[in-house]
Amino acid sequence: MPAVDRPSTHPRPQSTPQPPASEPVVCVRDAAFAYPGGHSLLDGLSLDLYAGAVTTVIGPSGSGKTTLLRVIAGLERLERGTVEIAGRAMNDRRQHTPPERRGVGYLFQDHALFPHMTALKNIAFGVRGRRRVERLALAKHWLDDVGLAEFADAMPHTLSGGQQQRVALARALASEPRVVLLDEPFSSLDPEMRDQLCPQTFETLRSVGVATLIVTHMPIIAKHAGGPVFEINHGQASRAKIG
């Protein structure tokens, strides 16, 4: 599958100049969060994500992994602490940048493809600001890229789990995010499919040069990812070693 050989017109996040590699794209500091009435999920968590690097956070279910992604994406408001994306503060006491203005791509656990749109339209949904024809052309490139060119007009419910995941990835990347967040990717796939799709996905992400954060409960995924690995514990992240 031609996950690496992309056409030269391939969209890259060029609109915002890449910060130097030493500067983190996403910077989470002292983040604290609890659902109303629930126990605290994040409690002083800090984490940096770098462009071109695939960072993994592992932890058991209920440890706040998903919450971390939602906080970065702006789907939840922080109680304390800060999230910076590309050097800009995304939240403080009074103001909260809504998800649509953060430049994040989010891969949901169940892929969350829009069931009323074709695969191509799903991908085109996130492409902004150009003419319709161009939007569709770009979406088409991304579809090619994940090896699903012939499925442009397919409705999501006709696609297999692996295909749905690839469309979801293409959709997230097509919106030219600075950071891509993956929630338990591959967990709904069988092991064989997972081992096939996993390396391709990371290859694509690295080659785009976007900062990536994966949360998972499966150490094997962290191994595939090959980047820094953190463990989430009592609402805080600590560097972990994966054997």
Shortest CB 170 distance to another protein, Å: 12
Radius of gyration for the alpha carbons in the chain, expressed in angstroms and rounded: 17
One residue of 24, 81, 126, 235 binding another protein per CB under 8 A: 126
For residues 156 and 133, is the Cβ–Cβ distance under 8 A?
Answer: no
Residue 171 touching another protein (CB under 8 A): yes
Residue 79 touching another protein (CB under 8 A): no
One residue of 11, 19, 99, 147 binding another protein per CB under 8 A: 99
Distance CA 218, CA 61 (A): 11
Residue 110 touching another protein (CB under 8 A): yes
Shortest CB 20 distance to another protein, Å: 26
Residue 108 touching another protein (CB under 8 A): yes
- HSE-CB of 101 using CA atoms within 13 angstroms: 8
Distance CA 101, CA 104 (A): 8
Each residue of 13-41: b (16+ CB within 10 Å) or e?
beeeebeeeeebbbbbeebbbeeeeeeeb
φ, ψ at 215 (rounded to 5°): -115, 140
One residue of 128, 130, 223, 234 binding another protein per CB under 8 A: 128
One residue of 157, 191, 192, 239 binding another protein per CB under 8 A: 157
Catalog residues that contact another protein under the rule CB under 8 A.
34-35, 37-39, 41, 61-62, 64, 66-67, 73-75, 98-102, 104-106, 108-117, 125-126, 128, 155, 157, 171-172, 175, 188
